[in-house]
């Protein structure tokens, strides 16, 4: 992928985009396809999944059989090459020593950011999710409706490629006809779970994931995505023709060398670069946004990590898309006489209302899945089905003890074993060895399942980040200090998840083995995982309809600095149970069109 050095950065651009993940990639794509000259700055190193993805390597070929380590939390073959909950030389701090009040911050220092290793779950927020306050009086409403964002969901899904069905379920929106790709068939464990979950009134449907189950149509989709733009259509058609359909080779979290799943590095950046309108600098650690005499953003200051030198770049518009809390850190560190408390922070809300997804999980052994004949159940590198939230009516009637819902992700089968699989088997069989271990492995392997809940967090004043008054990173930049709080709504929701999973396992005739992530929980007694562990960080610079009560307007445009936009998860005023990445991209596309319109009018 063509990368330029800091010495090659031009004197001026239309737009600077900070970050190259879902938000940065989508923003740069939309802008460059319409002719804007863009400079993208990425704090991490260059990364090429076509060359670096271990598509066919087994865990047995990896150090420690591929098990997790502090620098590789999701295993040796995970696509995250520089990052995790801890990044050397780039600390963050906690305001409390109580684990229940701490937030664990995941960062990915690489081109494409978190899009290289995420689960690819691409669920649309529904109408209720955008007007949550109007529905139950808690949290905030978004300053636009689902109907306003729906066309952008369609465009993103067609661009990145999303499989799934339209099931017509409450607050689980369907896509427009012809947008979704066909989902893969359910695996044996998924089918067996569905059979018994349905008896409990728990629905199971095809999940929506950003994986190609068939090749994209380069003759049709580019015209739908870029009507009237012949150049963009031609570039996108070429990019789509270079993507292959998934052939079930490996887990999606490793990345994809055939470009079958969505990564910014394989879907957004190649066509954006092909326009000739994008300059890309990696190892560029942005420190602050600069202002001109009129109080408008005019560029950024960044550290070139390869030389250690301080560099500057100029543009008519600055877009922060560095991930929610990293964008907040940039705003708080961009202090000036006009903004002594941080850039775009006259509301005092920068850093406030940080959110993650509510998580709880457990594992189980299912006797009905023992001793199945060998069969291919690799599938599309992740889930084929899931359970959307199904208790809206009971919840609205106040029968559940918590205000917002969750969805269920589950699975099992004979995946590629690692160290954990062998240890789990021996724990279950009480340490058998020799011939008995071989017999146990043939009998039990593939009979284990997991169930995970992913639920909505209501924003609260106790969950926020601020600059640590003392600690700085290795670049001399002040770091973030976190405060965290789960409300009773989230804690009760997680308990409901665990009870639901236990009921499902009982209906399947199985045995609960334990909570999957006990070391990640706020305590051994609580079902809920620690804040940040689900890696769905949003909020910190919420959008709204009034400048006094929000940081940005509905276009992700900061109230205080009209040519400064935030297109990652930072402006989210709520965090529905749906995984946020698809919504980040749809909102970023919408915001980018607003930038283009304002530039055309001469506003910037």
DSSP letter string, 216-243: --TTTHHHHHSTT-HHHHHHHHHHHHTP
H/E segment holding residue 168: none
Q: Are 493 and 454 in contact (CB under 8 A)?
A: no
DSSP alpha helices (H): ranges in 300-434?
324-333, 392-396, 419-428
Dump pLDDT digits (tens) for 238-292: 999 999 999 998 899 999 999 999 999 999 999 999 999 999 999 999 999 999 9
Q: How many CA atoms lie within 13 A of 320 on its CB side?
A: 37
Q: How many CB atoms lie within 10 A of CB 164?
A: 26
Give which of 326, 248, 385 is closest to 44, Cα–Cα.
Answer: 326
Alpha-carbon span 171 to 66, nearest angstrom: 39
Q: Give percent helix, percent strand, percent coil of the chain, each to the nearest 5.
A: 30, 20, 50
DSSP-assigned letter for residue 467: E
Q: How far apart are the first and last CA of the chain?
A: 30
Task: Report pLDDT for 67.
Answer: 87
Phi, psi (degrees; rounded to nearest 5) at 544: -170, -175
Which residues of the chain register pLDDT less than 50? none
Count, in order, helices (H) and strands (E) of the chain.
15, 18
Task: Report pLDDT for 517.
Answer: 57
Q: Are 508 and 366 in contact (CB under 8 A)?
A: yes
Task: Report pLDDT for 371.
Answer: 92
Phi, psi (degrees; rounded to nearest 5) at 431: 80, 30
State the residue for tokens 């804007």.
36
Which residues, other chains included, contact 283 with Cβ-Cβ below 8 Å and sequence gap of 6+?
Answer: 42, 43, 44, 45, 304, 305, 306
Give the angle 146-117-587 at the CA atoms, nearest 5°.
20
Dump pLDDT digits (tens) for 503-555: 999 999 999 997 755 567 888 778 999 999 999 999 999 999 999 999 999 99
Q: What is the dihedral sign for C-alpha 275, 267, 23, 601?
A: positive
Q: Are 154 and 176 in contact (CB under 8 A)?
A: yes
Alpha-carbon span 76 to 73, nearest angstrom: 8
Task: Report pLDDT for 419.
Answer: 61
Q: How many CB atoms lie within 10 A of CB 63?
A: 9
And the tokens for 484?
A: 């965290």
Q: Are 27 and 592 in contact (CB under 8 A)?
A: yes
Beta strands in 19-103 (DSSP E): 38-41, 83-84, 93-94
Task: Report pLDDT for 422.
Answer: 54
3-state secondary structure of 547: helix
Task: Report pLDDT for 441.
Answer: 86
Which domains occur in the chain, in start order?
Answer: 1-50+79-96+107-164+209-355+537-604 (3.50.50.60), 180-206+358-455+487-530 (3.30.410)
DSSP alpha helices (H): ranges in 445-580?
488-507
Beta strands in 308-430 (DSSP E): 310-320, 358-365, 385-386, 406-412
Q: What is the dihedral sign for C-alpha 27, 380, 498, 441?
A: negative
Distances 529 to 214, 311, 584 between C-alpha atoms, Å:
36, 40, 23
Q: Are 50 and 266 in contact (CB under 8 A)?
A: yes
């Amino acid at each position: 992928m063509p990368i330029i050095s800091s010495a090659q950065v031009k004197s001026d651009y239309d737009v600077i985009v900070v970050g190259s993940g879902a938000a940065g990639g989508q923003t740069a794509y939309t802008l460059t396809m319409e002719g804007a000259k863009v400079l993208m700055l990425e704090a991490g190193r260059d990364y090429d999944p076509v060359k670096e993805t271990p598509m066919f390597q087994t865990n047995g070929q990896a150090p420690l059989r591929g098990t997790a380590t502090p620098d590789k939390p999701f295993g040796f073959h995970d696509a995250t090459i520089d990052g995790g909950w801890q990044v050397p030389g780039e600390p963050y701090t906690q305001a409390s020593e109580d684990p229940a009040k701490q937030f664990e911050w995941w960062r990915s220092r690489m081109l494409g950011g978190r899009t290289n290793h995420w689960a690819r779950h691409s669920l649309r927020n529904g109408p209720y999710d955008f007007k949550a306050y109007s529905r139950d009086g808690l949290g905030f409403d978004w300053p636009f409706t689902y109907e306003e964002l729906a066309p952008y969901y369609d465009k993103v899904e067609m661009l990145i490629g999303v499989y799934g069905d339209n099931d017509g379920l409450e607050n689980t929106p369907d896509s427009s006809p012809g947008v979704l790709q066909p989902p893969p068939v359910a695996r044996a464990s998924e089918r067996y779970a569905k059979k018994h979950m349905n008896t409990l009134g728990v629905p199971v449907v095809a999940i929506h994931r950003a994986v190609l189950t068939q090749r994209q149509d380069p003759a049709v989709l580019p015209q739908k995505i870029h009507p009237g733009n012949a150049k963009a259509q031609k570039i996108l058609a070429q990019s789509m023709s270079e993507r292959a359909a998934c052939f079930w080779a490996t887990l999606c979290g490793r990345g994809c060398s055939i470009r079958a799943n969505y990564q910014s590095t394989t879907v957004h950046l190649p066509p954006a670069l092909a326009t000739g309108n994008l300059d890309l600098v990696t190892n560029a650690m942005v420190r602050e946004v600069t202002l001109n005499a009129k109080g408008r953003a005019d560029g950024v200051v960044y550290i070139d990590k390869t030389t250690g030198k301080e560099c500057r770049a100029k543009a008519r518009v600055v877009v922060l898309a560095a991930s929610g809390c990293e964008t907040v850190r940039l705003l708080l560190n961009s202090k000036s006489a006009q903004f002594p408390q941080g850039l775009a922070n006259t509301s005092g809300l920068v850093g406030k209302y940080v959110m993650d997804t509510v998580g709880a999980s457990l594992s189980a052994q299912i006797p009905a899945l023992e001793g199945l004949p060998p069969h291919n159940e690799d599938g599309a590198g992740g889930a084929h089905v899931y359970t959307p939230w199904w208790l809206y009516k009971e919840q609205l009637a106040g029968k559940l003890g918590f205000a917002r819902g969750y969805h269920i992700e589950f699975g099992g089968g004979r995946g590629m074993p690692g160290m954990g699989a062998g240890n789990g088997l021996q724990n279950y069989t009480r340490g058998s060895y020799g011939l008995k271990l071989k017999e146990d492995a043939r009998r039990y392997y593939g009979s284990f399942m997991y169930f995970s809940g992913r639920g909505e967090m209501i924003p609260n004043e106790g969950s926020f980040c601020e600059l640590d008054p003392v600690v700085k990173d290795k670049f001399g930049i002040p770091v973030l200090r976190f405060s965290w709080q789960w409300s009773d709504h989230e804690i009760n929701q997680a308990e409901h998840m665990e009870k639901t999973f236990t009921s499902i396992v009982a209906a399947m005739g199985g045995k609960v083995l334990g909570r999957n992530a006990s070391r990640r929980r706020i305590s051994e007694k609580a079902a809920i995982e620690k804040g940040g562990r689900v890696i769905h960080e949003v909020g910190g610079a919420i959008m709204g309809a009034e400048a006094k009560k929000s940081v940005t307007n509905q276009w992700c445009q900061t109230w205080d600095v009209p040519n400064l936009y935030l297109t990652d998860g930072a402006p989210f005023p709520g965090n529905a149970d749906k995984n946020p990445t698809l919504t980040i991209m749809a909102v970023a596309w919408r915001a980018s069109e607003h930038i283009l319109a304002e530039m055309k009018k001469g506003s910037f």
